[in-house]
Amino acid sequence: MSTVSYPMADTATMLRRNLRHALRYPGLSLGAIGMPVIMMLLFGVVFGKTFSAGLGGGNGFDYIDFLTPGILLMSIASGTMSPAVGAAMDMTEGIVARFRTMAIFRPAVLTGHVLGNTILTIVSLVLVVGFAILIGFRPNASLGDWLLASGLLIALTVALTWFAIALGLTSKTAEGASNVVLPISLLLPFLSNTFIPLESMPSGIRWFAEYQPFTAVIDTLRHLLLGTPMDNGTGWLALGWCAAIAVVGYFWAQKTYNKGTIA
């Protein structure tokens, strides 16, 4: 008997499952969507004036403009919590055992998590841009720039989500999963040029911030949306990071998911 595989149909079924979960269990998704908006308002409005002054505001420097690309990455980063926990919860329950004994497209279960989270993150990104514009974000980007920026943001979302799912799968419990992704959701956004320029950081941290993926992506976004100068090759570096994280995350996640079973 030949068995036909239905990659698209099975992935779509798993995506529907994950979107239903997001609607049924809105706490996690709302938290992920709402947190960056709060950070945007907190740093933009509440601390904004002081930060702006400290960073030599006035001479054409607008802190909201500086801040927004970083907050977009923060949305992506904080959004990785929910698929990591979701994937870990799947593994602790019997449902994944059921899926594994069925003739369905193997990567569909995890891909469903990634696509679901990508859709939620896009919602979050749109909200952040909306609030940013409300409080004074003034990008001067062409449609092409916007498309490139959106593409880069989505690429980073997919990459980080695969990586977070791999991390989530390695932990035994949902609580564990929410802890192991903390470096992604906290460390990377804060130890980057999201809130302050690299020059103002202590040297050790500055070294980390300079070479970690978020900084390259943020530089590229600032260049695309605001026309700030950027080193040659930073854009490619940003894309390269996304590709590398995605590949490592994907294979690590699939390997962990299939561990001990007949593939």
Q: Where are the alpha helices (DSSP H) in the chain?
A: 7-24, 26-41, 48-54, 63-78, 81-92, 95-100, 108-134, 143-170, 174-180, 182, 188-190, 203-211, 213-226, 234-258
For another protein, which residue of 17, 136, 174, 187 counts as binding (CB under 8 A)? 17
Q: Does the footprint of another protein cover residue 24 (CB under 8 A)?
A: yes
For another protein, give the closer residue by CB, 143 or 262.
262
Q: How far is CA 122 from the centre of its chain?
A: 10
Rounded CA-CA distance 42/48 in Å is: 8
- The distance of closest approach from Cβ of residue 262 to another protein in the complex, given in angstroms and rounded to an integer, is 4
Q: Does the footprint of another protein cover residue 16 (CB under 8 A)?
A: yes
Amino acid (1-letter code) at residue 157? T
Phi-psi region of 203 (alpha: psi -120 to 50; beta: other; left: phi over 0): alpha
How many other C-beta atoms are found inside a 10 Å radius of the C-beta of residue 228?
A: 13
The SS3 assignment for 138 reads coil
Q: Does the footprint of another protein cover residue 261 (CB under 8 A)?
A: yes
Sole window of 36-44, 96-104, 202-210, 221-229 interacting with another protein (rule: CB under 8 A): 96-104
Q: Does the footprint of another protein cover residue 13 (CB under 8 A)?
A: yes
Taken as a whole, the chain contains a residue count of 263
Sole window of 6-14, 30-38, 162-170, 236-244 interacting with another protein (rule: CB under 8 A): 6-14
Sole window of 20-28, 159-167, 185-193, 196-204 interacting with another protein (rule: CB under 8 A): 20-28
Amino acid (1-letter code) at residue 67? L
Q: Does the footprint of another protein cover residue 56 (CB under 8 A)?
A: no
For another protein, give the closer residue by CB, 26 or 240.
26
The SS3 assignment for 171 reads coil
For another protein, which residue of 7, 19, 20, 133 counts as binding (CB under 8 A)? 20
Phi-psi region of 93 (alpha: psi -120 to 50; beta: other; left: phi over 0): beta
Letters for 102-121 (x = contact with another protein by CB under 8 A, - = none) are xxx-----------------
For another protein, give the closer residue by CB, 99 or 208.
99
Q: Does the footprint of another protein cover residue 97 (CB under 8 A)?
A: yes
Name the residues that contact another protein, by CB under 8 A. Answer: 1-3, 5-6, 9-10, 12-13, 16-17, 20-21, 24-25, 93-95, 97-104, 260-263
